[in-house]
Amino acid sequence: MLLRWQARAGVRLALVQTLIVVLAFGLAGYLVQISLRQISQASIRTHVAGEVASLDDEFEQKGAHHLPYTVAKRSRLWRGFEYRLISANGALLAGKLPGSPALGWSRLSSDGPGGGRRHYLTYTKLMPDGARLTVGQDLAVEAGEMAAIDRSLVMCGVLGVMFCVGASYLFARGTWRRIAAVVATAQAVAQGRLTVRVDGHPGPPRDDIDELSSAFNEMLDRIGLLMAQVRQVSTDIAHDLRTPLTRFNQKLERLRSAAGVDPAMLRAIGGLEDDVSEILRTFDALLQLSEIEAADRGAQNKIADLAEVAARVGEAYRPDIEDSGRSLIIDVRPALVNGDGDLLAQGLANLLENALRHTHKGAQVQLTVNALPEGAELCVQDDGPGIAPEQRQRALRPFVRLEPSRSSGGSGLGLAIVAAVAARHAARLSLEDAAPGLRIGLCFPAVASGQTPEKLALIS
Amino acid sequence: MLAQSELRDGKCGCPQGPFGLSAVRILLIEDEPASASYIAGRLEEIGWSVEIAADGAVGVSRAVHGEFDVLIVDRMLPAIDGLSLVRTLRAQNINTPALFLTAMGSVADRVEGLESGGDDYLLKPFSFEELRARLQILAKRRLPQDAPSTVLVAKDLKLDRLQRSVSRGERAIDLLPLEFKLLEFLLLHAGEVVTRSMLLQQVWGFKFDPQTNIVETHISRLRGKIDLGGAKPLITTVRGAGYLIAPA
């Protein structure tokens, strides 16, 4: 299963990093802007105070009557300041600044000549003759400078974020790939391929991911060893039990020849032979089960037609089902699946035997195969007693027989074999109430792309 | 029942030794004395000649120098194991058919056995009749084979493989496709015992052993159709082994 990209730990980390970088740049920019504004205001104040001091000096040197001329001249020549000189009785002597600000520092706004408001920082001084001199500087210049500074700050921020994202991508990309390799290996193992290993860095681990990979590989080695031991044990049991059973069988055959036509003796020998074959059936079923479970699923690139398998197995069982007083309905439509036809036949045979064994006389068994958009479905349904919902999972376990007497024959491995076949084909196995009866469904995934019926024709 | 008890001691309708050979010559490579003497004893009862080799090394040298129709090879042997033994023989271009006898019954084991050059694979424990049926088929391989004819005949039963029709005497018999296939297989091996597992594999394509005896039910239906009207039964059951249609 593939995660959405937002859910990957690396992407989340990068997103969080980016957010932190953006916030840090924003805060730094804000602080820089505040201090720059303070510096800029302080410098405006210095300039304005200097101009006021210069006019004060004019007043001292040339007298009160000369000041309006000086102010008017400076206003005309425009040295970057605006002025307002008001006489002690309130008449405007020179300058263009509006309003009548209080003494000391203040801010003024006015409608400029071309429209639009202009803002000034002004200083007003009371001259010795009672006149009020106001000198102000237009803040538009300062605002323009601040805007330019803001633009640079934003540019720096964007570049910084891009740099951070790029760096973390370059750094994390390798990590993501290595984690993805571990995930892919784990998925392959989950599908039964125990031989795969994570491609690791040779030698001592460089970092925690190397450590993870090598620990993961060690774990797989250990699992492989245990599985091999289990297989070895079952092979050994097979050998050690089959050899004495062979001798047992041979002795029975000798007895049978010696018994001649004595009917009691022949019956007894027949009973013994049935017992041996029952032991062997359970034994075979157990070996089949461990074989299906242990098989390496990596090599599974065969295609089987579920309908062909179902028709073949169904027709093979039809005489037994019909002779036992039950009926069989086979309704199959072509449906290709990725899988092993032999194993599918084995699984289906177990389903039919199960239906044959656990239904009453007169029961109806239905075998259907349908092609669905999401894959193919094989279904065996009967109208027998069914299985209680709480018992259904348990019924799939080896040696579990639901009737307490264990009297209905069979090894108790049939449905476990079906479950193993389903797992090997990544098929979903469902046990449902058919009201009345049991409906066992196997939903196979759609055939992997690239394998078309034409290719199938070539293979067969 | 009468037919079965007749068959048990090798007195069936088939000739002693298959198809004109006076006796089948067997090399039995088996380390377990009890099994070896039992198998040899039963085979000699039906007139075959058997030589026993108790380990793999002796087995190889006997198989190289002797003249045998079939080798019976146990897979687990002292000195040289069964697989290596057959590989060694095949490498020396000795192509005597070989049947593995083994307790190792998984599909992987079977495939391994057949890939090493073995011709058949029989799982322990086995019934003697099953072993004999398989040995007979292997021994017959050594004889020149005629192309199978398109019309198969057994007594008054005729099966036309091209027209896909079956008749007994004057009476046409209507068979389902599967029944036709089953009868065809039995007729192609007329005079030989055909075992349950051969039928499962060849007629139904089952590579596993079902828990239900489905073959028996199919055979009994087939018998019902071809022996209809009290005709003499054509298919005989061979106890512990399988089924047999006697040739003409």
| pLDDT for res A81 | 86
Residues A283 and A333 in one domain: no
Of A288, A323, A411, the CB nearest to B208: A288
Q: How close B35 gets to chain A, by Cα (Å)?
A: 7
Instruction: Map out the domains of chain B with their CATH numbers.
Output: 22-141 (3.40.50.2300), 151-245 (1.10.10.10)
- A281 contacts on B by Cβ (under 8 Å): 209, 211
- Answer yes or no: do A231 and A309 share one domain: no
Number of domains chain A is built from: 3
Kindly tell me if the per-residue pLDDT of B215 is higher than 90: yes
Sign of the dihedral defined by the CA atoms of residues A93, A94, A96, A98, in that order: negative
- When the pLDDT of each residue in chain A is averaged and rounded to a whole number, the result is 83
Residue A255 in domain: yes
- Same domain for A242 and A305? no
**CB-CB under 8 Å, A284 with B105:** yes
Same-domain status, A410 and A282 = no
Nearest to B214 among A316, A342, A410 (CB): A316
Weakest-pLDDT range from A101-105, A248-252, A289-293, A369-373: A289-293
Joined tokens for residue B130: 């099953």
Q: Residue B35 pLDDT more than 50?
A: yes
Q: B7 phi and psi, to 5 degrees? A: -75, -25
Q: Cβ neighbours of residue B137 under 8 Å, at least 6 residues apart?
A: B120, B189, B192
The mean pLDDT of B179-208, rounded to a whole number, is 89
Give the integer Cα–Cα distance in Å for A378 and A244.
Answer: 41
Q: Is the pLDDT of residue B9 over 60?
A: no
Give the end of a domain, one of A277, A294, A311.
A294
CATH number, residue A252? 1.10.287
Q: Decide if A366 is inside a domain.
A: yes
Chain A residues touching residue B9 (CB < 8 angstroms): 257
A242:B221 CB<8 A? no
Q: Is residue A106 part of a domain?
A: yes
For the question of an ipTM over 0.85, the answer is: no
Question: Is 90 exceeded by the pLDDT of residue A58?
Answer: no
pLDDT of residue A459: 41
pLDDT band at A1 (very low <50, low <70, confident <90, very high): very low
Residue B243 has pLDDT above 90, yes or no: yes
- Please give the share of chain B, as a percent, with pLDDT higher than 70: 88
Residues A90, A212 share a domain = no
Cα separation, B62 vs B77, in Å, equals: 15
Output the pLDDT for position B22. 57
Q: What pLDDT does A3 receive?
A: 59
Is residue A384 within 8 Å of A349, Cβ to Cβ? no
Residue corresponding to tokens 């069989």: A328
Q: What residues make up the domain containing A443?
A: 300-459
| CATH code of residue A382 | 3.30.565.10
Same domain membership, residue A314 and residue A449:
yes
Rounded percentage of chain B residues whose pLDDT exceeds 90: 32
- Considering only residues 210 to 229 of chain B, which have any Cβ-Cβ distance to chain A shorter than 8 Å? 210-214, 217-218, 220-221
Q: How far is A370 from chain B (nearest CA, A)?
A: 22
Shared-domain flag, residues A100 and A214: no
Question: Which of A242, A320, A342 has its CB closest to that of B214?
Answer: A320
Tell whether A365 is covered by a domain.
yes
In a domain, A238, yes or no: yes
Task: From A262, A294, A326, give the residue that closes a domain.
Answer: A294
Q: How far apart are CA A316 and CA B203, in angstroms?
A: 10
Question: Does A214 lie in the same domain as A132?
Answer: no
Is A270 in the same domain as A411?
no
What sign for the dihedral angle of Cα A203, A206, A211, A212?
negative
Compare CB distances from A291 to B34, B106, B213 and report the shortest one's residue. Answer: B106
For residue A401, pLDDT over 80 is answered with: no
* CATH number of A133's domain: 3.30.450
Kindly report the average pLDDT of chain B as a whole number. Answer: 83
pLDDT tens digits, one per residue of B150-177? 888 888 899 999 999 999 988 899 999 9
Averaged pLDDT for residues A148-152: 85
pLDDT tens digits, residue range A13-45?
778 878 888 888 888 888 988 898 888 889 889
Query: Cβ of B147 under 8 Å from any chain A Cβ?
Result: no
Residue A17 to residue A14: CA distance in whole angstroms: 5
Q: Which of A236, A264, A294 is the last residue of a domain?
A: A294
Going by pLDDT thresholds of 50, 70 and 90, the confidence category of residue B14 is very low
- Which residues are CB-neighbours of B198 under 8 A, at least 6 positions away? B133, B242
Contact A242 B124 (CB under 8 A): yes
| A244 and A312 share one domain | no
pLDDT at position A410 over 70? no
A320 close contact with B: CB closer than 8 A: yes
Query: Residue B4 pLDDT > 70, yes or no?
Result: no
Task: Give domain status of residue A311, yes or no.
Answer: yes
Tokens coding B77: 């042997």
Q: Determine, yes or no, domain membership for A328.
A: yes
* Residue from the list B204, B207, B217 with its beta carbon closest to the beta carbon of A312: B204
Nearest C-alpha of chain A: how many angstroms from B181?
A: 12
pLDDT band at A409 (very low <50, low <70, confident <90, very high): low
Instruction: Identify whether residues A17 and A119 lie together within a single domain.
Output: yes
Residues 339-368 (A) with a CB less than 8 A from some CB of B: 341-342, 345-346, 349-350, 353, 356
Section B96-114 average pLDDT: 81
The yes-or-no verdict on residue A362 having pLDDT over 50 is: yes
- Does residue A172 belong to any structural domain of this protein? no
Close Cβ partners of A390 (under 8 Å, ≥ 6 residues apart): none
pLDDT band at B100 (very low <50, low <70, confident <90, very high): very high
Four-residue CA torsion sign, B216, B221, B226, B231 = positive
Span B64-72, average pLDDT: 89
**Mean pLDDT of the A260-273 span:** 87
Residue of A nearest to B206 (CA): A342
Nearest residue of B to residue A324, measured between CA atoms: B217
Whether B125 and A349 lie within 8 Å, measured CB to CB: no
pLDDT of residue A317: 94
pLDDT category at A332 given cuts 50, 70, 90 is: very high
Instruction: Give the pLDDT mean for A52-69.
Output: 87
- Token couple for A205: 């681990």
| Gap from B210 CA to chain A (nearest CA, Å) | 7
Do residues A443 and A306 both lie within one domain? yes
Residues of B whose CB is below 8 A from A350: 211
CB contact under 8 A, B125 and A276: yes
User: Which residues in chain A touch residue B178, judged by CB atoms under 8 angstroms apart?
Assistant: 315-316
| pLDDT reported for residue B17 | 41
Q: How confident is the model at residue B186 (pLDDT cuts 50, 70, 90)?
A: very high
Any CB–CB contact under 8 A between B41 and chain A? Answer: no
The per-residue pLDDT for A322 is 93
Least-confidence region, from A131-135, A263-267, A394-398:
A394-398
Q: What is the predicted pLDDT for the residue at B67? A: 86
